[in-house]
Chains A and B, each alone.
Chain A
């Protein structure tokens, strides 16, 4: 298995533009998590899905952020409009089975820079 796949790996955009981050979880994993990592705030859980259904989106910072999981092998995190403070590394992770007690496998991350 190729592991969790994220695209793009780097994204540079201008303030006000729409940004879409993509994630393909490990095949067979039924949980998918989106995290944001910054120096100031560390690793923050934004939202997670179970069997394609959003379970907890309380970490989504504001209405500019939205996430979808149309099927078991694909999820998107969208920021519209983007702002400089959204600059961060965004990680997607997946796991199998009922938490707790199951390792989350992280993707390589998308480094987002909003100018």
Chain B
């Protein structure tokens, strides 16, 4: 089955800096890669996603890149703000969805 690895497990940045989270997946048939944000005590919520026929997608301060050959994808957050502090999960999907272990991002004011 699909195996998703996510790095780093924790990330601390200064407000205004950029944050990058990386994921790799094992099943080359996976073709949908969402990113979820989970605030403390809340449910995961989709922030951005990318499909396998696209290499990059951007939505304001958030961007995701996908390298299908290398089977890795990344989340980029620019101009980070304290409210970006949360746990971020990547996932890879073919029929079901497998999540990475999560990255706890802390943005220091």
Interface residues of A (CB under 8 A from B): 33, 42-45, 48, 55-56, 58, 91, 99-104, 106-109
Contacts and interface: CB of A to CB of B under 8 A. Distances in A.
B95 A43 contact: no
B43 A107 contact: yes
Interface stretch (B11-19, B27-35, B62-70, B75-83): B27-35
A44 B4 CA distance: 11
A43 to B, nearest CB: 4
A45 B45 contact: no
Q: How large is the interface on B (under 10, 10 to 19, 20 to 34, 35 or more residues)?
A: 20 to 34
Interface string B30-55: 11101000000011111001010000
Nearest to A101: B32
Contacts, number: 57
Given A33-B96, A56-B95, A99 B102 contact: no
Contact of B96 (A42, A56, A106): A56
B99 interface: yes
* Among B43, B49, B51, B95: residue with most chain A CB under 10 A: B43
A48 B93 CA distance: 13
A102 B33 CA distance: 10
A106 B102 CA distance: 16
Contacts of B89: 42-43
A42 B100 contact: yes
A100 B93 contact: yes
B97 A45 contact: yes
B86 interface: no
B49 A106 contact: no
Contact of A99 (B1, B32, B42): B32
